[in-house]
Amino acid sequence: MVILFLKEVLMTANAAKSGQLTIGNFTVNRLGFGAMRITGEGVWGEPRDHDEAIAVLKRAVELGINFIDTADAYGPEVSENLIHEALFPYEELVIATKGGLTRQGPGVWTPDASPEHLREALEASLKRLEVDSIDLYQLHRPDPKVPFEASVKTLIELKEEGKIKNIGLSNVTLEQLKQAQTMTEIVSVQNRYNAASSETSEEILQYCGEQGIAFIPYFPIGGDGTDFNKLQAVADKHNVGVRQIALAWLLAHSPVMLPIPGTSSVAHLEENLDALDIVLDAEDLAELS
């Protein structure tokens, strides 16, 4: 029974892996680019190598990536500015950004999902990206000081005003996602999720699969101190790195998964894209489950 189940999962996973994913009224390739790492250390300030950051963004598009994820808090403002410099006018690209977190220094993040701040953040992102409407605008994090429904209502109003095309959520619970769905269409959820971490959103991922909601895992490879031991055997079998296996597993794990690995290096970007060529078999999936 287990073997039959794994075979069914394998066929579904590998069929979806090489395809595309619908997010609201857009269709994107299933490996995107997360533009957090093109900023300075601690996601603060300008990148150490400006030209390399621009080259990474341009190379990502050359390699077929058509979904770029960013946020006003990355830098802050730096990531959006670099995306504009490198990729404007975004031909056949979906640019997703977020609002709801403020920055006070390297590694310091403070929620502010008040209606006033979200409006200011959205308007500033429109100007930096030089667009009239954001393809996908995501609430970066619910604010414990602000009623969740008030934050979502603000995004709905901005969508009705034509300044947002699609609404997504980040760092939410399943209960918050369901609450938001009673108010408006939610096309994506971005939560921490990776093969090497015990901190997952499996229940939310399964629900997104049932609902046809894109699931965008941040830290898709893992963060600092990640233990890759359980990936090593599979990586050795395929003669690739553990990070490539981590991405391949995400792609195989759910058809609504949209990994957004980020990097400040063209070489690392190209290595990440190699994950698309890895076909995991039933034994691999069993090892990684």
Backbone CA torsion sign across 28, 33, 39, 42: positive
Multiple choice CATH, 20-227+253-264, 1.20.80.10, 3.40.50.2300, 3.20.20.450, 3.20.20.100: 3.20.20.100
Q: Give me the pLDDT at residue 15, please.
A: 38
- pTM, two decimals, is 0.92
Q: What's the pLDDT score for residue 199?
A: 63
Contact (Cβ atoms closer than 8 angstroms) between residue 152 and residue 140: no
Contact 287, 233 (CB under 8 A): yes
What pLDDT score was predicted for residue 222? 79
Averaged over successive runs of 10 residues, the pLDDT of the chain (289 residues) comes to: 41 52 95 97 97 98 97 98 98 97 96 98 98 98 98 98 98 98 98 79 95 96 74 93 93 96 96 94 88
DSSP conformation letters of the chain: -HHHHHHHHHHHHHHHHTSEEEETTEEEES--EETTTTSSTTTBSS-S-HHHHHHHHHHHHHTT--EEE--TTTBTTHHHHHHHHHHTT-TT-EEEEEESEEEEETTEEEE---HHHHHHHHHHHHHHHT-SSBSEEEE-S--TTS-HHHHHHHHHHHHHTTSBS-EEEES--HHHHHHHHTTS---EEE-B--TT-S---HHHHHHHHHHT-EE--BSSS--TT---HHHHHHHHHHTS-HHHHHHHHHHHH-TTB------S-HHHHHHHHGGGG----HHHHHHH-
Question: In the annotation, is 90 catalytic?
Answer: no
